[in-house]
Amino acid sequence: MVENNRGVAEVMIRTGMIGSEIAGLKQGHIYDGSIHVQDSIVRGVERVGMLKTDYRPRGTPITSALKERLDRAIQKASGSYIFSMKGGGRLKINSFRKTPWSKALEKAGVKTEVAERSPSLLQCPV
């Protein structure tokens, strides 16, 4: 996985954030030693203050390993969003899921099933 995609995957794994939350993550959401999940991008539309459910807004403590990953991503960010596409522009989580994530799972030997009715799931291990 290229560095940018590795950063997306690592932050998702370390925080439990779903794709729409990662896509909507801005530098201003990081303060007081936590990531404050508050916005999302769903099907290319920014949803300020809107998450999947009422239970999704939260503060996720930043560990030293997570801080290191976020710092690298922020240094490369060209706008207010922490993660972007390889060529620039807002992160499109479906593009991430279809290519780098699927290839990484395949390379790791993880058999998966795509959940047809849940766009927030990347892929479910079988």
Q: What is the CATH number of the domain that holds 33?
A: 1.10.443.10
Determine the Cα–Cα distance for residues 103 and 62; give it in Å rounded to an integer. 28
Is residue 107 in a domain?
no
Reference 77, options 28, 34, 12; nearest CA is 28
Radius of gyration of the chain (CA): 14
pLDDT at 55: 57
Is residue 47 in a domain?
yes
123 has a pLDDT exceeding 60: no
Determine the Cα–Cα distance for residues 114 and 123; give it in Å rounded to an integer. 5
Is residue 13 in a domain?
yes
Identify whether the C-beta of residue 41 lies closer than 8 Å to the C-beta of residue 70.
no
Domain count across the chain: 1
Which three-class secondary structure state does DSSP give residue 75?
helix
Range of the domain at 58: 3-93
Q: What value does the mean pLDDT of the chain take?
A: 78
Give residue-wise pLDDT tens across range 29-81: 899 999 988 877 777 767 776 666 665 657 789 999 999 999 998 888 878 88
Residue 61, burial from CB neighbour count under 10 angstroms (0-12, 13-18, 19+): exposed
Res. 84 pLDDT band, cuts 50 70 90? confident
Of 115 and 34, more confident = 34
Give the strands of the sheet with 34-37, arranged side by side: 30-31, 34-37, 58-61
pLDDT at 71: 92
